[in-house]
Amino acid sequence: MKKIIVLAFVAMMVFGPVVNVLAVDGDPSVVDTIQLGDPKVSETTSEPDFFSSIAKFFDTLIPMVPWALLASVIFIAMWVYFDASRRTNYGWIWGIASLLVVPWLIYLAWRPPYTIEEMKLIEADANLRRIEKEYYQYVLTKEKYICGVCGTPVQPDYQVCPSCYKELKKICPSCGKLLDPEWHICPYCASRITDRPKGA
Ligand SMILES: [Zn+2]
Ligand SMILES: [Zn+2]
């Protein structure tokens, strides 16, 4: 699909101006003016001849101007379509709207800096970093004795955080050792922990 659009565009770019120039050359009125002008030009010096050839050159260029403008607008719309398709879910809308030129300027100002694929990678990377951060925070609270809620440094035998009252350890009701609040069995005396000592 993309190739067909590009081929059609290139064909229009090349053949459009050629057809236009041929049409101008074939126009009898234009030929008449050139023929009428020729004897006068030959009588004068080479300098006006040079300028008249430049004038003729621009005469052939001027009919191409509308084609060039049209081709530029279509080229811009195609670029917007392909670019917006990668960055948004509305490539067709942006592309067609850009034929009116003003939406193209709006698109240039609003254009997302990343493509959809890049955004997915960035989000996945951010997720990974968040998980890593949470993991290391967890490791820190477990091994470096920092309150997991407020970050206050605590001692390994603290039962609660002195700053935010978070329960850090509970006491085994059977042997009295300090246990992780999430444990349901005491690793020292193997007694099951059903109730928290604070609630008892
Ligand atoms: Zn705390
Ligand atoms: Zn115990």
Q: 148 near 158, Cβ under 8 Å?
A: no
| pLDDT at 70 (0 to 100) | 92
Residue type, 91: G
Q: Distance, CA 178 to ligand 2 centroid (Å)?
A: 8
Q: Distance, CA 130 to ligand 1 centroid (Å)?
A: 21
7-65 residue pLDDT tens = 666 666 666 655 555 555 545 454 444 455 555 554 545 566 888 888 888 888 888 89
In whole angstroms, give the CA distance from residue 178 to residue 124: 39
Percent of the chain with pLDDT over 90: 42
Q: Which residue has the higher pLDDT, 45 or 164?
A: 164
Around ion ligand 1, residues with a beta carbon closer than 5 Å are 147, 149-150, 152, 161, 163-164, 166
102-129 residue pLDDT tens = 999 999 999 999 999 999 999 999 999 9
Nearest ligand (C-alpha, residue 176): 2
Residue reference for tokens 């997915």: 120
Q: Distance, CA 160 to ligand 1 centroid (Å)?
A: 8
Residue reference for tokens 């993991």: 135
Nearest ligand (C-alpha, residue 197): 2
Question: For residue 168, with 0-12 CB atoms within 10 Å meaning exposed, 13-18 middle and 19 or more buried, which class applies?
Answer: buried
Percent of the chain with pLDDT over 70: 72
Q: Distance, CA 138 to ligand 2 centroid (Å)?
A: 25
> What average pLDDT is seen over the chain?
81
The first and second tokens of residue 183, run together, are: 């444990």
